[in-house]
Structure 1
Amino acid sequence: MLQQFLGVVNIVGELRQEVISKRRKKIGLPEKYLYTKDTKSIYYVDFVNRELILSSNADNVRSIPSLVDGVEPGQRKVLFTCIKRNDKKEVKVAQLSGSVAEHLAYHHGEVCLCTTIVSLAQLARLAGGKDYASPRYIFTKMSPLTRLIFHPSDDSLLKHEYDDNQKIEPVWYIPIIPMILVNGADGIGTGWMTKIPNYNPRETVQNLRIMLDGDDELVPMIPWYKNFRGTIEDCGNQQRYVISGEIAIIGNDKVEITELSIGTWTQNYKENVLEPLLHDITVKFVVTCKPGLLVKLKKDSLHKVLKLQSVTHTTSMCAFDELGCLRTFESVIDILQEFYTLLLKMYEKRKDYLEGFLEAEAAQLCNQARFIVEKCSRDLVVENKKRKTIAD
């Protein structure tokens, strides 16, 4: 009973701290830390509800992406460095990681940073990118699509982080579509985890257009993965989906596997699933079974026995919102609507900024034209006069 009571107290404390933290962020105040230079003693409850929660939240920030731009701080540092460098040529991964660590206060080791860069760039399915070569041998560069997704016109509106009074990467970028739905998310922090599948960018854009038109009838969205030829079926409650690869019977004792399930990598599948089960495997995944084995596999369901099926769900969709507060979203539409609301506010800020910039530029051009006219008409004489007289 005591443990249950303490657990309830801890949960209430976390919720209370979350409300206080969100309120402080709304009005632009920093986090309220427990220790100050005058602190001599503290209470256990204050340590748990203030300092310990902040430490746990810092772990969540590193593990769970932001709803706004769909990336974690380490990934955002890499993105910011690539945008700042604006390299047209390929650069070694080791050199890029060194640049990120040097200029953006990265405190977790360059090995982790190299893994982050490779994960952002690789498209291989052989071993999920884990078989990459040494970072000093492989090259990467920023995709041309990056500045189309993260528009340069928004750069002046972004709020930046600071580390020891050094200006580093933004708190978040504002992409033109919710990239957290395009790329998905998967992470585990302290007391929180997130699992957001990938969704079709075309359906996402279509729903954003529907919202702009003021219509509430949005297009239903199910998980979608680029170049995946298998099937994704809803189990009935739109929160659980069965993902199946492709398999075909091409003979009495032969099956052909042409697509694996999402998250199943080719090399691991060959070593862990096919080799213990079958005796002859070609590189095209044409599998020759022992006599009579195929009949047994068909009875037990080929997809299940050959591990060509997996289940994904949307019941743990967590992400940090625009204020840096961790939230759980019930559906993909909730994420889309949250992003849409923020996007409209940022577009209004972008419009105001561009209007102000154009007005300042127009005023400057008018003053330059007036100076030229007055100088030509000799109404303005600046020769042989002191700077102070001209300024007055």
Structure 2
Amino acid sequence: MSAKKVEGSSAPAIRRDLVLSGTHLDQKDPKITYSDDWFSTPDLGRSIPSMVDGLKPVQRKILFYAFKKNLVEEIIVSDFTHGVAQSAYYYRWQTLASTIVGMAHDYVGSNNINLLVPAGLFGTRLMGGKDGGKKKHLYTRLSPITRVLFPKDDDVVLNYLNEDGQIVEPTWYMPIIPTVLVNGSEAIGTGCTTFIPNYNPREILANIRRLLNGESMVPMDPWYRGFKGTIEKTASKEVGCTYTVTGLYEEVDDTCIRITELPIGKWTADYKEFVTSLPLLQDHRNYSNTVSVEFDLKLTKQNMAAARKEGFLKTFKLTTTISTSNMHLFDKEGVLKKYATPEQILEEFFELRLEYYKLRKKIRLENLKLELLKLDNKVRYIHEFLSGKPIVIFRNKAEFVQELREKGFTALPKKATPVEAAVGGAIDDAAEESSMAPEPSSTAFVPGSEYDYLLEISNFISCEKSQEMLAERKKMNEAVAELESTTPKALWHRDLDALENELDKLDLNDAKAEEEMKAIKAKARASKGC
């Protein structure tokens, strides 16, 4: 089954029939308008992600290359960058490299689910990722969970773009949950900004199950993987909510306070500079590392009392706020739209994703039935050969094809260009070259290839081969029957089950890392105290 393609730029298919009045955005209008000029339109297309996959075009190109090459083995970031640049990438190399690094970040306050694995110094919460090493010393690969979020079965239902005859990334990918809510987004475009906080993938998953079961969603609040502080809703408006994000502290005694978590967006190195500059501080010890925060602050009793009176949260700046009043995304039609709640994003995503499960089932069923038809013909072909009605194959191909046609075998010509070379999996150099050429229409076939699928087994005909084909046909019949009886919603439930299993693995790894970190801190503090 051929994948769909659309002609044009690799940027989102942006609606240009909307006009921006100056540079002012009307916060009451959910659909944001902008001018069709040489800069603002493409700039917005590059800067603001899609509601569907949560990706900007450069991130989508990176994912396309990683899927195409099946990057399960580590690759140096500079080589990765060079490979992505071959897919009609027209922007700065440094932007591409930085985006790859950003997709691999896994520290608190970055990605809840990093799509790439960081191998090397990719940057930490010490400096909000700015402490990363040189790109030539960094390696990465696809995270195991990425292909669970973006199933390979969906590759053939996506709309792939065509850049000057070269098949590149799709208009958007189709994850099984809205990744824009999982990892959030913060971006600035011409006349428009967006900020979407991170949300708990398990809560998103649970809400999708509720929608699949015809139930109402449960409201979701921002959530950041590994964050130990609190996020509380402090204001609710028609256009969004405001949340107070609070770090953690404890009073060790009447002269010592221990800070064990910072608000999201405050980085350890910056905070160290802040607390050490406080006049009320007598001494301090820093047990923080690249993963966690821990400061023991020594004060006099008098200063401790003063800080308590003012409030430790205020004195030590342990609160920030985040808002959901500025959530702008391109919708499925390429229209820049303002969303009021994460549930609104999820509901819109749900309707589109369910349609694509229906399309996935349809195409998968067509492909299975095509394979079953091939097996039926192969079984009959082998049976006639072994039962004394051999088809003479030691002659020119035209006569061979004519005899098969007269005997009523199904003609199944090959496509001129294999779609698989363009949409995913490991490929060789020859396949990659073919994927870079324009793909013919779905009716273009290789002349004379109608019976190649039978000719290719002619040298392997035997009773054992017949039994093998019969067993394979039985399995294929069972697969067709099983898929026919499976609803699109059931397919989605299966994918969600697989995602839950991967999330369980992440939680176990996080818990193990947390225990190891506690042991290291306890050992470091054992002889020092506060």
In the superposition, the TM-score normalised over structure 2's length comes to 0.63
Aligned to 1:136, the other structure's residue is in SS state helix
Aligned to 2:221, the other structure's residue is in SS state coil
**Could you tell me whether the CA contact under 8 Å between 1:80 and 1:169 is conserved in 2?**
yes
Shift of 1:49: 4.8
1:161-185: CA deviation from partner (whole Å, max 9, x where unpaired): 2222211112111111111111111
Distance 1:334 1:180 in 2: 13
Q: State the one-letter code of the partner of 2:223.
A: W
Q: How does 1:1-392 map to 2 (within 5 A)?
A: 8=21, 49-50=35-36, 52=37, 55-101=39-85, 103-123=86-106, 124-215=124-215, 217-237=216-236, 239-271=241-273, 273-277=274-278, 278-284=281-287, 285-290=295-300, 292-383=302-393, 385-392=395-402
Q: Alpha carbons of 1:295 and 1:97: their partners in 2 closer, same or farther (altered >3 Å)?
A: same
Q: Alpha carbons of 1:294 and 1:383: their partners in 2 closer, same or farther (altered >3 Å)?
A: closer
Distance 1:70 1:192 in 2: 17
Q: Alpha carbons of 1:203 and 1:383: their partners in 2 closer, same or farther (altered >3 Å)?
A: closer
Shift of 1:388: 2.5
Distance 1:158 1:66 in 2: 15
Aligned to 2:277, the other structure's residue is in SS state helix
Shift of 1:11: 7.7
Distance 1:370 1:282 in 2: 80
Shift of 1:380: 4.8
Q: RCO (CA 8 Å, sep 6+): is it higher in 1 or 2?
A: 2
**139-148 or 83-92: bigger deviation:** 83-92
Shift of 1:383: 4.3
Unaligned runs of 5+ in 2: 1-18, 26-30, 107-123, 288-294, 403-530
Q: State the one-letter code of the partner of 2:258.
A: E
Q: Alpha carbons of 1:82 and 1:246: their partners in 2 closer, same or farther (altered >3 Å)?
A: same
Aligned to 1:242, the other structure's residue is in SS state strand
**Could you tell me whether the CA contact under 8 Å between 1:69 and 1:178 is conserved in 2?**
yes
Distance 1:332 1:322 in 2: 16
1:39-95: CA deviation from partner (whole Å, max 9, x where unpaired): xxxxxxxxx954x1x631211122111111111111111112222222333221112
1:320-351: CA deviation from partner (whole Å, max 9, x where unpaired): 11222211111111000011001101100100
Q: Alpha carbons of 1:185 and 1:49: their partners in 2 closer, same or farther (altered >3 Å)?
A: closer
Q: Alpha carbons of 1:184 and 1:7: their partners in 2 closer, same or farther (altered >3 Å)?
A: closer
1:334-373: CA deviation from partner (whole Å, max 9, x where unpaired): 0000110011011001000000001100111111111112
Aligned to 2:97, the other structure's residue is in SS state helix
Distance 1:106 1:385 in 2: 50
Shift of 1:239: 0.7
Unaligned runs of 5+ in 1: 1-5, 13-17, 22-47
Indicate the residue corresponding to 2:468 in structure 1: none
Distance 2:286 2:338 in 1: 43
Aligned to 2:168, the other structure's residue is in SS state strand
Shift of 1:230: 0.6
**Could you tell me whether the CA contact under 8 Å between 1:198 and 1:225 is conserved in 2?**
yes
Distance 1:289 1:106 in 2: 55
Distance 1:92 1:302 in 2: 45
Aligned length: 350
Distance 2:61 2:312 in 1: 44
Shift of 1:318: 0.9
RMSD, aligned CA: 2.3
Q: Alpha carbons of 1:375 and 1:154: their partners in 2 closer, same or farther (altered >3 Å)?
A: same
Distance 1:253 1:9 in 2: 57
1:267-301: CA deviation from partner (whole Å, max 9, x where unpaired): 11112x21211342211300112552222222322
Shift of 1:252: 2.0
**Could you tell me whether the CA contact under 8 Å between 2:23 and 2:191 is conserved in 1?**
no
Aligned to 1:363, the other structure's residue is in SS state helix
Distance 2:72 2:145 in 1: 13
Q: Alpha carbons of 1:11 and 1:255: their partners in 2 closer, same or farther (altered >3 Å)?
A: closer
Distance 2:396 2:127 in 1: 73
How high is the sequence identity, in percent, across the aligned residues?
37
**Could you tell me whether the CA contact under 8 Å between 1:10 and 1:49 is conserved in 2?**
no
Shift of 1:214: 1.0
Distance 2:81 2:391 in 1: 57
Aligned to 1:341, the other structure's residue is in SS state helix
Distance 1:341 1:184 in 2: 20
Q: Alpha carbons of 1:57 and 1:371: their partners in 2 closer, same or farther (altered >3 Å)?
A: same
**Could you tell me whether the CA contact under 8 Å between 2:24 and 2:191 is conserved in 1?**
no
Indicate the residue corresponding to 2:113 in structure 1: none
**352-361 or 78-87: bigger deviation:** 78-87
**Could you tell me whether the CA contact under 8 Å between 2:20 and 2:35 is conserved in 1?**
no
Q: State the one-letter code of the partner of 1:365.
A: L
Distance 1:228 1:383 in 2: 69
**Could you tell me whether the CA contact under 8 Å between 2:251 and 2:258 is conserved in 1?**
yes
**218-227 or 345-354: bigger deviation:** 218-227
Q: Alpha carbons of 1:336 and 1:49: their partners in 2 closer, same or farther (altered >3 Å)?
A: closer
Q: State the one-letter code of the partner of 1:91.
A: I
Distance 2:249 2:35 in 1: 53
Distance 2:158 2:52 in 1: 12
**Could you tell me whether the CA contact under 8 Å between 2:182 and 2:201 is conserved in 1?**
yes
Aligned to 1:322, the other structure's residue is in SS state coil
In the superposition, the TM-score normalised over structure 1's length comes to 0.84
